[in-house]
Structure 1
Amino acid sequence: MIQFRFASLATLLLLACAPARAADVDARASYILTLGGINIASMDVGLTDDGASYAVDLSANVTGLGAVVASGTAKANTTGRSSGSQLVARTFGLQTRANGDNFKIDVTFSGGDVDSFKVEPPIIDNYDRVPLERRHLTGVTDFLSAFLLRGNGLDKSLCQRRVGIFTGVERFNVELSFAGTDEATSPRTGYQGPVVLCSVNYKPVSGHFTSSDITTYLADNDRIVVWYAPLGETGYFIPYRVLLGTSMGDLSMVLTSMRP
């Protein structure tokens, strides 16, 4: 469960991108995650879109950090329909492995609602787990597609959105808001140029445990920021940097390479 929460958070931080036009896209991006300045994971993301359907795949190798983050691997993927300015998820899958334990989620969507979901091994409903209700499974998408942003340029409109997310375990809402503009200049990263800053507000709805320190911290945290950069001339916008302040130091994700 701990490894699932880390994978969820890492994926939540990995706000990917989607095309603003119907041209074929076949892109890849790589990131390094650090906690308190220490490397804890590397991630590769692939995105394809043929103008009618899209697919995103993510793979992560987690080196871990003592008892804080377990070492292991995580893979996530989503597919869906690409129509105009909308992405409509059809399937979502997540697999993690840590300390010899495997965890797997499969979700199918239909018209913006959850059609079915399966979790292995099943999550045990303790007294402090907020019950999932059927109404929480409508008007949602997976947490990869939720952050697939597309637009016509680097402006505040990229950050003005609210989305409901279902992970297969939890339902929560995320709100993005415009936080400013900046310039990426470091030659050690995969992009140099203008970026737009979006602040992220996380609101748990159901499926989470009221005793979860991670859920409480995310809900109370007002320091989750994403720097978006253009993915070449494709109309995509992907994270250049993501920053989440924690009691153990900043959890940061930085773009190290990209191929539009």
Structure 2
Amino acid sequence: MTLPRSMAASVRTAGGVSFALFAAMLAMTGPAAAQGKLEAHYDVTLSGILVGTGVWAVDILDDQYSTTANGGATGLLKAFAHGTGTGASQGRVVNGALVPANYTATISSSKKSETIRMSLVGGNVKDFVIEPTPPVDAKRIPVTDAHKRGVVDPMSAPLLHVPGTADPLGPEACHATTGVFDGRMRYDLRLDFKRMEMVKSEKGYHGPAVVCAIYFSPIAGYVPDRLAIKYLAAQRNMEIWLAPIAGTRVLVPYRLTIPTPLGTGKLESTQFITSAIPPKTAAKAQ
């Protein structure tokens, strides 16, 4: 199957944006509550056509957490872009807060493969490396040391804690803004409450989800003239649907929708299997 070059580029951009936002959104880490785990499977569609799939796993214990994800192109997108991606992050739970320590991501296509490794201490980037080293682009806005402070990595990012004792599935879940550094680009993400919805996956979770609007603001590490960046920054119709990890006050993405030039891009869970971890089981796992 072949597509016009401009259309192929748009579909690649849509697929890349979906994977990136899945990995990066939403970067609102905070105090954790109790212990729980999640295994979720996702489909990525463009105008209703399947273009990718992914799997995401999260484990939250008393003093540590980990999250991993992998995904790849399929169907239409795989016909001309054989892409896969994996990511992982680990950290500690310190005084109830999720504190990222290590992050790794690898993006591969038929033409190249790139790996990003990053370490963080107390919300600040200690060091990072991109392999192979990317060429210098004079048009790219430089990332300064200040840009690498008070940030989270993209794989810790989707763990959204809701403080307090009330039901975490409500408007308060969407009152958050944070900074993300993915090894190349520094950007801010802001949420606003929109509404409540009911969801039902093919396997696993069936219940309410809180729907938040997403606003993307690039800060540094990007080329201002890139159409994909301009497009995302101008969007006012992106949405994230959040569902809970059992046994915790942590919410994670169940559905993500992004308008694109070729129609709506959507990442949606088909399996959302979550369970609380009993304290004794958690102790043995440690």
Q: TM-score, normalised by structure 1?
A: 0.89
Structure 1 residues 66 and 144: CA distance shift in structure 2, 3 A: closer
Quote the Cα distance in structure 2 between the aligned partners of 1:170 and 1:224: 20
Q: Which residue of 1 aligns with 2:180?
A: 165
1:51-90, aligned counterparts within 5 Å? Answer: 51-63=62-74, 65=76, 70-90=81-101
Quote the Cα distance in structure 1 between the aligned partners of 2:221 and 2:215: 18
- Decide whether the 8 Å contact of 2:64 with 2:93 is kept in 1: yes
Q: CA deviation at 1:13?
A: 5.1
Aligned: 1:259 with 2:273: yes
1:108-123, aligned counterparts within 5 Å? Answer: 108-123=119-134
Quote the Cα distance in structure 2 between the aligned partners of 1:148 and 1:22: 14
Total equivalences in the alignment: 258
Q: CA deviation at 1:80?
A: 1.0
1:31-46, aligned counterparts within 5 Å? Answer: 31-46=42-57
Q: In terms of mean alpha carbon deviation, does 187-196 or 239-248 score higher?
A: 187-196
Q: Pairwise CA RMSD of aligned residues?
A: 2.6
SS state at 1:146 partner: coil
Q: Which residue of 1 aligns with 2:21?
A: 9
Q: Percent identity?
A: 26
Match of 1:22 among 15, 30, 34: 34
Structure 1 residues 206 and 7: CA distance shift in structure 2, 3 A: same
Deviation per residue, 1:81-119 (Å, 9 max, x gap): 223452111111100110141111001111111100101
Deviation per residue, 1:201-249 (Å, 9 max, x gap): 1100010111211111110111110111223444332222111111111
Quote the Cα distance in structure 2 between the aligned partners of 1:80 and 1:209: 31
Q: Which residue of 1 aligns with 2:283?
A: none
SS state at 1:22 partner: coil
In structure 1, runs of 5+ residues without a counterpart are none
Deviation per residue, 1:49-80 (Å, 9 max, x gap): 22111110001121264599722211000111
SS state at 1:219 partner: helix
Quote the Cα distance in structure 2 between the aligned partners of 1:220 and 1:173: 14
Structure 1 residues 15 and 31: CA distance shift in structure 2, 3 A: farther
SS state at 1:70 partner: coil
Residue type of the partner of 1:145?
S
Aligned: 1:155 with 2:167: no
Q: TM-score, normalised by structure 2?
A: 0.81
- Decide whether the 8 Å contact of 1:16 with 1:238 is kept in 2: no
In structure 2, runs of 5+ residues without a counterpart are 1-11, 275-286
Larger Rg: 2
- Decide whether the 8 Å contact of 1:4 with 1:96 is kept in 2: no
